[in-house]
Structure 1
Amino acid sequence: MVNIDDFVKRLETVLEYYGLNASAFADKIGVQRSSMSHLLSGRNKPSLDFVMKILEVFPDVDLYWILIGKGIFPKNNEEPATVEVFDLPSPISSNRNIGTDLFSAIEVNEEEKKEIKKTASPKNVNFNLEDSEIEKIVLFYKNGTFKAYSP
């Protein structure tokens, strides 16, 4: 959960770093000035769209730093910006015993298999990959970590 007061402090740090006031910042990222005002006053929480616009316009802002305060601002350009490694939390326990391996097989009885077969096939899926560009490649490891590569 994002702490709104801490988010606002980090957002003010970004404003100060770039030498922008709230109105100019709102104009630059393409949001209404009133939205920016409501967010800075603590009346509203930031939407995902708002955060993504910040990251698009200001690449020195790190996602995890702006949201939860982990990381640095501005991003260190000496490190490869395209590789991110994160430790994932332990798997959530359920009524099934899946062990510590996220990709271990789960025992499913015959009735559940029939239900899965009925609902598992997607309908009307149309992928047009000719004009698509790769945004991110994510590798998942058995130890619960992953690496994200951005071209």
Structure 2
Amino acid sequence: MIMERERLTAGAFAESIGVAQATISHILGPRNKYPSTEVILRLHQRYNDINLEWLLTGEGEMSNTPDSSIESGFDYPLFAENAVNPSEVTSHAENRKEIASETPVNVPKEIVKQEIIYKERPPRKITEIRIFFDDNTYETFKPEK
């Protein structure tokens, strides 16, 4: 009802109250009828003319301003039974398969060839050996040439 009053899409409404669009989609869907307290508080913070009691319980007037329900055409309670918000869900759950919207085009992959070159290094020679002792001294050994 607030989305209709503000003439907002679900995405724009979600952005206006600072929640994910999926959150609004879940609330508007058939399975999750009631929003979380966090969503209600964010909604009330953004649209502070909305009656908090109406948001929480669905009772009373939608707006705190007396003339807004007459101007907007909303004079029924939030959780009233109507065509959009029936009291009992008549459809049963069904498993649905995901259908691809387009057939993916197979693009040939570029073949990458790597060549590994091993370069031989000249043999290394030991030039010096140091041995460190626990009394902070050391000895150096140099091989004879």
TM bracket (short chain): 0.3 to 0.5
Normalised by the size of structure 1, how large is the TM-score?
Answer: 0.40
For normalisation by structure 2, the TM-score amounts to 0.42
Larger-gyration structure (1/2): 2
